[in-house]
Structures are given as structure tokens and as C-alpha cells.
Amino acid sequence: MNYQEALEYLEDLNVFGVNLGLARIQRLMFLLGDPQKQYKTIHVTGTNGKGSVTAMLASCLQAAGIRTGMYISPHLSSYTERMVIDGQPVSKQQFAETLSVVRDICEFMQGEGDEHPTQFEVLTAAAFLLFQKAGVEYAVIEVGLGGLLDSTNVIVPEVSVITNVTFEHADKCGGTMEGIATHKAGIIKDGVPVVTGAEGEALEIIAKMAQEKKADLYVAGRDFAAEAMKPLGQLSIPPNLGATGYGVQDRALTDMQMEALSKLHLDCNECEAGQQLVAFNGKNPLFANMNYKLSLLGLHQVSNSGLAAAVFMVVAANDLRFTQKALKKGMKQVIWPGRFELLSGYTYKVLIDGAHNPAGIKTLRQSLDYYFPHSKRIFLLGILKDKDYKFMLEYLLRPEDVVVMTTPDSQRAAEPEQLLPYVVSEAKEAVPEPAKALKRAQDLAEQAGNPEETTLICAGSLYLIGALREMLIK
């Protein structure tokens, strides 16, 4: 089939819904020859940040000269974005041809009386098969939902990563924080190291699982730390060192890092717009007291980069290509569209961010206050109705902000008119059609008075920002 036929096939698979479980994907992978066992993997889950960590790791692996696959979800504009080889999305032809092979196996399964795999299972199988055909050496695999019963959980990785755990997808992961953390911890395998930024009850559950699996556990703030230095080219020792990442940093690590930072003599004017300087410290001499330039903005990206650097630190014990030099190159080159992404070509700042749940919204607000504290903010927002939109809108917005609410391209989209009562800003309106809403928000940004101190922020559902990003970069 061609690409358009592949899209139609995937649309038809929606009839099978979200049906967590490993029986179908295990059977499907077996019939495909278990391609996921032919290369090494790194497995990444978490409520927020898992996509960013996946992108950072893939960039660093590529910088090390390693043929690298990356599997992510969802996509912003095209299904081909989900399967990336050496930084490039697969071609539409590759995507369609591989999906054809998987479709044939699925039809065979159904003919044998097995359940038909879901859409995500089909995509996951296609990615694993495509990576094998492309001869990748390492693949960084992002979990779709949860971990324990997720389709990707048929791999035995070199490292398992759990970014953080907050109250998201509770209905599919046990209904409690304990249930969610247990599902995330489900990617932990026997003897496979675990890197995490989780805290509190979630960390306790992860630590217990790691102990049962005899898996070494590396915890942010205890075994490694990544801290933001003054962003956008100005070097300074952050006053809240030890508190800008996941968790509170161990005092001994903080003292070591303060000493290292005081000895740095870097010309941070070398940092370009859209980059920030990060100081990393790990309990491995090869990765102790180092710094790197990160080509992603956002305080959350500092923490995410620390998790990726910690993975590099762990794997370096078994693979000499995982060097500090490769890590620095990869962090400087990483691209992750739609996540606190500044777009060029406008007189005012244009920021795209995929914050779509309370944790993401909190991070977005904190990052806006940190990077652009005095900027006038014009928001273009669209939120799904199954999210805690009341909290999200109250936390994100200030009374002086200007807000345009619109409709994400999803059956789960909240009607913008219904959200307006929860918008604390005085200047607010609903424009249901995204293209018209963008035009309205852009007009408001142009009318704001001082373009250099005005930021247009497009955020909310990933179903929205992908479409808006395409309109903005044309």
C-alpha cells in the first residue's frame, strides 16, 4: 500500500481502541521474527518529559557515531515523525511498505483466531521492524502509555528511564498514584539499570521494584544532578542550586558542584539564542563537574537533560563511545519541535509548547516566568475535556494576559466557549476554528505595542500545536 492507504488503514484500526496488554504484541513480534531483539535499546517512560529525554538521548547517540533509531508518540504533523533514523523521519514509502508487512501478519493472526492488534501495537511493531531493516545499533523507545502493559514493553533495554510520575491516565493505570507508579515501574527488567527523576511515593515504589529486580537505581538529586545556569548567554551560579531539577539535590553533590562552578571560566556569549548552559554532576568521574550547552529552552528541559546525561553516564561503563564529548555535541544539536520552542521570523516572540496536563502547564508557567518575566503574553490555547482544565487555566494565566481559546482537532476537545469562565484573564475570547484563532492571536500580538516585549504562546493539546506550528513556519 502507499502512504495514503497506510493512513486509511491506521484510521480503521481506531475501532480497536486503547486496549492495554502484551499478548497481542508479543505474538505479533514473534511472527515478525522478534526484530526488537536485534539491536540495543533504551526504554523511556514518565508522565512528562519522556519525549524530550528520548530526543536528547537519540541526538547524543547519533553524535557518538552510533546508527540510532528513535520511536516516539504522538506525532505533530506526520506519522513518519514517530520513526526516526539518525535524526531523519522515515520516508512515506518506507513507512507504508513496513506497515504493509505488519498488516499482513495481523490479518494472519486474526485468521488464526487471535485478537487483532491495536493501532499503537501495529505502529510499534512497524517501528521495531523498520529499525532492524535499517541496521540501527541502538534505538531509544518512548513508552506510549504507562509502561507495564504498554506495547513497547517487549524489549529488554540497556537502561530503563522513568522521568517522573504525576496523576495522569489514572483510569488506565490503577486509579491511584500507587497504581500509576506501579505501571511506570513495570518497564524495569531484571538486572537492567534504572534512571529516574521520580520523588516521594512514586520513587519508593520504583525503588522497591528495582530492588526486587536487582536493578541498580540512579536517582536525580542523589546520584546525579543537572542545574540551569543563567539562561540565554549570561553565566551565573544559580541561587537555587539543588532545587531546579527533580527532587532536592544531595548536599554533598551540591557542595561539589558549587566548587566546580566557581572554577568555570566560560565565555557564555558563545551560547546562541535558544540555548542554555547546564551544569551536570554525576558520581562517575568521567561525568563529574561538567557542563554543556542545551539547544532546548525550559527549566524542565534542564532536568530532562540531566536524566539523559545520567543514562549516558551509566552506559559508558560498557560502551566507550558514550563519552563526554559525544554528550556535549548531542545536547547542543538536539531538536525537539513543539516543546517550549521559539520560532523565528516574527517581530514578536512566538513560542510553541505541548503542555497538555497540569504538570506540563505548571512547568510552562514557571519557564515563562523564568525566561520572559516582563513580556506581555498573548495565549492561544486549546485543551481536551478529559484534562483538569480548571486547574490548568487558573495556574497558567495572569489577569493581565490576553487569551484566545480554540478547538483542538480531537473528539475529546473541550468547547472553547465552555472554558472561558475558567480563564482568569480579563481580555479573553473564543474562536473555535484554529486557523482563524491563530490569525486573531497574531493580530493581538502585533497590536500589543512593543513587539520585543511581546510573546505569543501557542499551547495546550498536541492535537492543536502541531497544526498551528505548520501554519506558523510556512
Residue 306 confidence (pLDDT): 97
Report percent pLDDT > 70 for the chain: 89
Residue 239 confidence (pLDDT): 36
Least confident of 138-147, 166-175, 313-322, 391-400: 166-175
CA separation for the pair 411, 135 (Å, rounded)? 38
* Residue 418: pLDDT over 50: yes
CA separation for the pair 185, 188 (Å, rounded)? 6
The runs of H, that is alpha helices, within 74-155 are 92-111, 119-134
Q: Residue 288 — very low, low, confident or very high, per pLDDT cuts 50/70/90?
A: confident
- 322 and 355 in a single domain? The answer is no
Residue 230 confidence (pLDDT): 57
8 Å CB contact between 122 and 104: no
Residue 462 confidence (pLDDT): 84
Residue 87 confidence (pLDDT): 97
* Residue 7: pLDDT over 70: yes
| Closest to 379 (Cα-Cα) out of 412, 346, 413, 355 | 355
Across residues 415-442, what is the average pLDDT? 96
- Burial per residue of 61-89, b for 16 or more beta-carbon CB atoms within 10 angstroms, e otherwise: bbbbebbbbbbbbebbeebbbbbbbeeeb
- Which domain CATH number covers 192? 3.40.1190.10
- 191 and 232 in a single domain? The answer is no
Residue 283 confidence (pLDDT): 85
Higher pLDDT, 126 or 228: 126
Residue 189 confidence (pLDDT): 98
Listed in sequence order, the residues at least 6 apart from 178 whose beta carbon sits closer than 8 Å to its beta carbon are 201, 205
Residue 249 confidence (pLDDT): 43
Residue 244 confidence (pLDDT): 39
Q: Residue 267 — very low, low, confident or very high, per pLDDT cuts 50/70/90?
A: very low
Q: Which of 189, 219, 249 is the last residue of a domain?
A: 219
Looking at the 3D structure of the chain, how many domains does it have? 3
- Which domain CATH number covers 351? 3.90.190.20
| Closest to 329 (Cα-Cα) out of 283, 290, 282 | 290
Across residues 47-56, what is the average pLDDT? 95
| Strand ranges across the sheet with 83-85 | 88-89, 83-85, 68-71, 138-142, 40-45, 159-162, 194-196, 217-219
* Residue 77: pLDDT over 70: yes
Q: Which domain holds residue 294?
A: 224-333
Listed in sequence order, the residues at least 6 apart from 467 whose beta carbon sits closer than 8 Å to its beta carbon are 77, 409, 434
- 194 and 250 in a single domain? The answer is no
- 32 and 171 in a single domain? The answer is yes
Tally Cβ neighbours within 10 Å of residue 320: 8
Residue 371 confidence (pLDDT): 86
Strand, helix or coil for residue 367: helix
- 278 and 185 in a single domain? The answer is no
CA separation for the pair 419, 296 (Å, rounded)? 30
- 214 and 241 in a single domain? The answer is no
| Closest to 464 (Cα-Cα) out of 431, 429, 428, 434 | 434
Residue 379 confidence (pLDDT): 98
Residue 201 confidence (pLDDT): 95
* Burial of 351 from C-beta contacts in 10 A (0-12 / 13-18 / 19+): buried
Across residues 309-335, what is the average pLDDT? 96
- 407 and 312 in a single domain? The answer is no
Tally Cβ neighbours within 10 Å of residue 375: 18
Across residues 112-131, what is the average pLDDT? 97
Across residues 434-459, what is the average pLDDT? 94
Q: Residue 261 — very low, low, confident or very high, per pLDDT cuts 50/70/90?
A: very low
Higher pLDDT, 156 or 228: 156
Cell of 206: 520504583
Residues 201-260 have pLDDT tens digits of: 999 999 999 999 999 999 999 999 999 875 443 333 333 333 334 344 454 544 544 444
Residues 353-366 have pLDDT tens digits of: 988 888 889 999 99
Q: Which of 284, 306, 333 is the last residue of a domain?
A: 333
CA separation for the pair 194, 218 (Å, rounded)? 6
Q: What is the distance of C-alpha 214 from the center of its chain?
A: 28
Q: Which of 308, 333, 358 is the last residue of a domain?
A: 333
- Burial per residue of 11-45, b for 16 or more beta-carbon CB atoms within 10 angstroms, e otherwise: eebeebeeebebebbebbbebbeebbebbbbbbbb
- CB-side neighbour CA atoms (13 Å) of 226: 27
- 305 and 350 in a single domain? The answer is no
Which of the 8 DSSP states describes residue 242? T
- 445 and 307 in a single domain? The answer is no
* Residue 269: pLDDT over 60: no
Least confident of 45-54, 76-85, 249-258, 290-299: 249-258
Continuous segment of H or E residues that includes residue 202: helix 200-212
Residue 171 confidence (pLDDT): 53
* Residue 421: pLDDT over 60: yes
- 303 and 403 in a single domain? The answer is no
Report percent pLDDT > 90 for the chain: 75
- 92 and 213 in a single domain? The answer is yes
Residue 375 confidence (pLDDT): 93
Least confident of 3-12, 84-93, 248-257: 248-257
CA separation for the pair 452, 372 (Å, rounded)? 11
Residue 220 confidence (pLDDT): 96
* Residue 380: pLDDT over 60: yes
- 325 and 372 in a single domain? The answer is no
**What mean pLDDT value characterizes the chain?**
89
